[in-house]
Amino acid sequence: MGKRSSSLYFNKAAGKFIICFFLMLVLPLLKVHADDPIVIVIDPGHGGENLGAEYSQYTEKYMNMAVARAMKEELEKYEGVVVYLTHESADVDMELIERAEFASEKNADILFSLHFNMSQWHNYFGAEVWVSAFDQYYAQGHAFAQIEMDMLTDLGLYSRGIKTRLNDREEDYYGIIRESRKLGLNAVLIEHCHLDQANDQPFYSRDAAQLKEFGRLDATAAAKYFRLRSEELGVDYSDYPVPAVDVPSAAVKPDLSPPDVCVLEMDHLDETSGEAIFTLTAQDYESRILYYCYSLDGGQSYMPLEPFPEAENAISFTVMLPFEQNLLICVEAHNAFDQETVSNVLEITALPDIMNQHEEPEIDIEAENSENTDAGSAKTESGAEADTEADRNTEEMMKEEKTAETEMDEISLEELAANLRTSQEQLSQVTYVYFGIIIAISLMILVLMILVAKIIMTKRLYKSKSNLGSKSAGSKKNKINKTNKSNKISYDDRSNNDRSNGRNNNDRSNNDNESSGVD
């Protein structure tokens, strides 16, 4: 009995010991505990003098701050979670190591660094999430990133993938991830989308509410990952199927090599319309093909990037080829790590513009002139722009084909309006000339009339003077003297004063005549 009870006691004690030992092992791993809230630190990327990406009216640090605030606000609606921002204002300068230290001091379960992206040639679009390349940091980061990326793609963004990046020392490339890991903390960097590319602009350009939408999305992804629930929001993610990601045995390295396969074939060419159908076969054995774009000039310039379907090795696409040009068509395939491979080049000799040749007699001078101007300006543009121009011209040509009659009507109306404008302008010009001539003639008649009137007046005056002369000879003598005196003064004035010399030649000749007459 005694033996039995002692063995029972031993068994009980051993059982307790085993349970305690097991809990000691497991508890540090299971940080999620009823009384132990999840601590989430959100880092709005950049700040202070570090503006982040800048494009058009967009400055990244402000966008990151708006998203971070919205993420915090949303996360705080969940139970059992404490949320901090590394800094509260976009005007705060903060080193990456300081951000990691802040999160470490708060005993954070995870650090989310929020960003918006920009590419050198403003051609990339879509969202990407960067995670640590190492062990459980990779596994946890990747699990969260899958939830986040699923939600971003549901929103309509293109996935550029969940990726790792290493520096020359084979450490995590991104400082926030590297410094956090050194402190035993996992950091995930979210690049929501590109602020310099037309495909992504509809996701933030409309209003500020769109940035809040990103914040709510990030918060929901975090809530799903940590299996939180919110009475306020009426959601419970307690049983959310968080993806299981194996802990890698070695660093998960990024793909540093360009796509392995990139072959272009032409399937069909309609020489009348210029429509050509191509097939691009592209593959990257280490990552995936993200985008492709084609060139008509042997790779000197390319059209904008197009998404390449995931889990496919080939894509078919249609190009409206421009007429009257020898073409060198090739394609560039880009992988998820922004490495590209150029395909073989297909030579296509200039397609004759049959449609335009038939319509030649119909084209009016004005239309022809505008076409010549277009061609002239296109020549001065860069290759890429010229390409776009060429493509647009081709599209316009197709539209013309469909609505030829309507356009012809429009052209003749335009022509009529232009002619009317021209004749109106000509008419107004002629009117001005006639008006000018009439005014000039009127002025001349007026001057003549004044002259005639003056002559008549002078004659009348002379007659009345000679009548008076016979009545008073003394007064006449005085008058003659006065006239002589005044003439003399005038003469002296003239000879001594340059101003009177230069002022009026007619006055001088009169004076000369009169003085000589007196002398």
Residues that bind Zn ion (CB under 5 A): 45, 52, 115
Length of the chain: 519
DSSP tag of 33: B
**52 or 161: CB nearest Zn ion:** 52
Amino acid letter, residue 23: L
Q: How near is the Cβ of 259 to Zn ion at its closest, in Å?
A: 27
Tell me the CA end-to-end span of the chain in Å, nearest whole number: 178
Alpha helices by DSSP H, listed for 44-163, are 60-75, 96-105, 135-155
Which class for 258: exposed (0-12), middle (13-18), buried (19 or more C-beta within 10 A)?
Answer: middle
Choose between 87 and 494: whose C-beta lies nearer to Zn ion.
87
Q: What is the CA radius of gyration of the chain?
A: 46
| C-beta of 43 vs 332, nearer to Zn ion | 43
Output the smallest distance, CB 117 to Zn ion, in A: 7
Write out the two tokens for 183: 């402190």
Q: Is residue 484 classed exposed, middle or buried when 0-12, 13-18 and 19+ CB atoms within 10 A define those classes?
A: middle
Q: How far is the CB of 46 from Zn ion (least distance, A)?
A: 6
Cβ at position 45, least distance to Zn ion in Å:
4
Q: How far is the CB of 52 from Zn ion (least distance, A)?
A: 4
| Residue 322 CB neighbours (<10 A) | 21
CB of 73 to Zn ion, least distance (A): 21
Separation of alpha carbons 134 and 472, rounded Å: 136
Q: How far is CA 250 from the centre of its chain?
A: 42
Distance between CA 316 and CA 410 in Å, rounded? 37
- What tokens appear for 10 in the block? 């031993």
Other CB atoms closer than 10 Å to residue 261's CB: what's the count?
16
CA distances from 187 to 92, 131, 232 (A): 20, 7, 28
Please report how close the Cβ of residue 190 comes to Zn ion at its closest, in angstroms.
10
- Hunting for tokens 């009823």 — which residue is that? 34
Q: Which is nearer to Zn ion, 60 or 340 (CB)?
A: 60
Nearer to Zn ion, 189 or 290 (CB): 189
- Cβ 191 to Zn ion, closest distance in Å? 7
**Beta carbon of residue 133, minimum distance to Zn ion (angstroms, whole number):** 20
For 21, list phi and psi in degrees, rounded to 5: -60, -40
- Of the candidates 364, 363, 365, the one whose C-alpha atom is nearest the C-alpha of residue 355 is 363
Smaller CB separation from Zn ion, 50 or 257:
50
Beta carbon nearer to Zn ion, 54 or 368: 54
Which residue's C-beta sits nearest to Zn ion?
A: 115
Nearest distance in Å: CB 218, Zn ion: 15
- Is 142 or 194 the residue whose CB approaches Zn ion more closely? 194
The token duo for 100 is 């990691």
In whole angstroms, what is the distance from residue 179 CA to residue 137 CA? 13
Residue with tokens 């199927």: 241
Question: Could you give the CA distance from residue 57 to residue 64 in angstroms, rounded to a whole number?
Answer: 15
In the complex with Zn ion, the residue whose CB is nearer, 123 or 325, is: 123
Output 192 or 494, the one with its CB closest to Zn ion. 192
In the complex, the smallest distance separating the C-beta of residue 152 from Zn ion, rounded to whole angstroms, is 16
- Residue closer to Zn ion (CB basis): 58 or 240: 58
- Nearer to Zn ion by Cβ, of 113 and 230: the residue is 113
- % helix / strand / coil in the chain, to the nearest 5? 50, 20, 30
Residue 44 CB, nearest approach to Zn ion (Å): 10
Is 173 within 8 Å of 256 (Cβ atoms)? no
**Residue 213 token pair:** 């939408």
User: Is the CB of 45 or the CB of 126 nearer to Zn ion?
Assistant: 45
Q: 3-class SS at 68?
A: helix
* Residue 142 near residue 162, CB atoms below 8 Å: yes
CA distance 172 to 165: 6
Query: Residue 113 Cβ, how far from Zn ion at the closest point, in Å?
Result: 8
The stretches of 170-262 forming alpha helices (DSSP H) are 175-182, 209-225
Closest approach, Cβ 232 to Zn ion, in A, equals 31
Burial class (CB within 10 angstroms; exposed 0-12, middle 13-18, buried 19+) of 194: buried
Q: Which is nearer to Zn ion, 53 or 83 (CB)?
A: 53
